[in-house]
Amino acid sequence: MNPKVLGILNVTPDSFSDGGQFTRVDAARSRALEMVQQGADAIDVGGESTRPGSVAVSVEEELQRVLPLLEAIRGDVDVPISIDTRRAAVAREAIALGARIVNDTSALQDDPALSSLIADHQLTVILMHRNGIPETMQRDPCYVDVLEQIRAFLEERIEFAVAAGISRDQIVIDPGLGFGKSIADNYQITSNLEHFRSLGVPLLLGASRKSFTGIFDASTPAGRLPASLAFVARAQRSEVDWVRVHDVEETVIFLKAMAAIEDPQLIGEGVR
């Protein structure tokens, strides 16, 4: 089965790939509707860049970025909305405007109030592994055993979430490619996605346009689709549940073709 596609929509001026493109509400709304039309299974709205070297913004600034868009698309988007935040105050306002998924790059570590908020509203939560903080996480990241350390971290965060009242079937895990990992780490993790299957919850992979996908041709983020799709292919082969991407249309078509190759009977039946 193909993974579901989580479309990235950053309403930030400084995200590594699309920073500044969707700071205007009309542009962001148009992009959200476009991604749905292209086949996105959910839209991930983010108001704070967590790229390597980024500095945290205030809660007020994050709210000023995301709330106008959430208000603008409320009722017009027929797929789940994810709020990419690590703050309860932001998640609370996003939930009031229809968000049903919280994508937390800190795996419920940065804000003690976020776990109970998610539990109270019975939301889906994405728990991501992050080694350090965005400002410094890419300064010589080092592991003894990258696979086992990430797995142990995610296992502990799953148990924390369950203890906080979040249903286990509402938890998704993300090994956090690019968040405190070397180039080699990112490829090793992706080569061994099955290592995380024993945790018994859905798995998400987010490689789209990240710097390690540009090592073969020194491409800019916009030119990293070929290598990004290689990670999508690996996710599909490993039966990963979600892929988080910028290039929704290309990813959806790619996955349809992959599915049709594996089962030609799907041709003409609507491949997904």
Active-site positions read 210, 244
DSSP assignment of 169-234 equals GGEEEE--TTSS--HHHHHHHHHTGGGGGGG-S-BEE--TT-GGGGTTTT--GGG-HHHHHHHHHH
Quote the DSSP letter at residue 246.
S
**For the chain, what is the total number of helices (H) and then of strands (E)?**
8, 8
> Which two three-digit tokens encode residue 181?
């990992």
> Which two three-digit tokens encode residue 61?
């600034």
C-beta of residue 199 within 8 angstroms of C-beta of residue 172: no
For 240: left if phi > 0, alpha if psi spans -120 to 50, otherwise beta; the answer is beta
Q: Which among 49, 48, 18 is positioned nearest to 248, based on CA atoms?
A: 18
Report the C-alpha gap between 90 and 251 in whole angstroms.
29
Q: Which among 57, 69, 60 is positioned nearest to 11, based on CA atoms?
A: 69
Report the C-alpha gap between 88 and 108 in whole angstroms.
10
Q: Which among 219, 211, 225 is positioned nearest to 138, based on CA atoms?
A: 211
Q: Which among 138, 126, 141 is positioned nearest to 54, based on CA atoms?
A: 138
